[in-house]
Amino acid sequence: MKKILANSYIGSLLIMLYAPILIIIIFSFTEAKVLGNWTGFSLKLYTNLFQSGVHHSLSSALWNTLIIGLISAFVSMLLGTVAAIGIYNLKPRARKIVQFANNIPILNPDIITAISLFLLFVSLGISQGYTTVILAHISFCTPYVVLSVYPRLRMMNENLYEAALDLGATPFYALRKVLLPELRPGMISGFILAFTLSIDDFVVTLFTIGNEGLETLSTYIYADARKGGLTPELRPLSAIIFITVLALLLVINHRAAKREQENQKH
């Protein structure tokens, strides 16, 4: 009895959580303009999405989102990794301070980050557009990369880098051939995390995107909704994004589980 109650509780919780997304995915396979009308199975909305010209602004918003996501995730990965190595080599007291400073942007509300970046760009007189969005995304993604790389460094044998130097490797060679292979799993996790955060972001993007007509998915959907009624093509797009993020999440979790297993083995 207790088990049935527990199961139905978790079941209803999951249904409530995922029902909206499920409904969108189901209705992405029909042509109706209004969500909720089922006019028969169709892939029309999917084909519309990928047909150039039909919904030009939506697909360009998608491309902008992906490009901004990839560039800022890549740069964050590099900066975050270097920062993690730097933090690892600090004296304990300085390390604590820098780690604390690294955690502030993570806990800081998005709106504060957004406004402060907006003011910064305005006061520096940088015209807002692609560059400012990417800079903004890099600035809030980097701390997450630091958090995913730093544990790898802690786990690593502390003499590894020295052992490479000892065997005749230059500091750069030791970094490339010994340190980076050890950090790679953390870097990849950090990259994926940064990428999803960047795709997902709305508040910071809205404040730094300027008014030159540049749109990312989140700002496009927002503007679209304000105009009244969402374009039906958003349904297949949401479905695709959801499945992609789910896949990325599964990859991250799988990697974490594998790492855990390896650790237990030793």
Site for another protein in 136-175 (CB under 8 A): 157, 159-160, 162-171, 173
Instruction: Give the integer Cα–Cα distance in Å for 64 and 151.
Output: 32
Contact 191, 248 (CB under 8 A): no
Nearer to another protein, 156 or 245 (CB): 156
Q: Applying CB under 8 A, does 260 fall inside the site for another protein?
A: no
Nearer to another protein, 168 or 213 (CB): 168
Q: Applying CB under 8 A, does 264 fall inside the site for another protein?
A: no
Q: Applying CB under 8 A, does 92 fall inside the site for another protein?
A: no
Q: Applying CB under 8 A, does 182 fall inside the site for another protein?
A: yes
Instruction: Give the integer Cα–Cα distance in Å for 212 and 203.
Output: 17
Binding mask 29-68 for another protein (x = CB under 8 A): ----------------------------------------
77, 178, 204, 217: which one contacts another protein (CB under 8 A)? 178
Rg of the chain over all Cα atoms, to the nearest angstrom: 23
CB of 163 to another protein, least distance (A): 4
What would the two tokens of residue 100 be?
Answer: 């604390």
Contact 204, 110 (CB under 8 A): yes
Q: Applying CB under 8 A, does 110 fall inside the site for another protein?
A: no
Contact 231, 55 (CB under 8 A): yes
Contact 208, 115 (CB under 8 A): no
The length of the chain in residues reads 266
Q: Which residues form the interface with another protein (CB under 8 A)?
A: 157, 159-160, 162-171, 173, 178, 181-182, 265-266
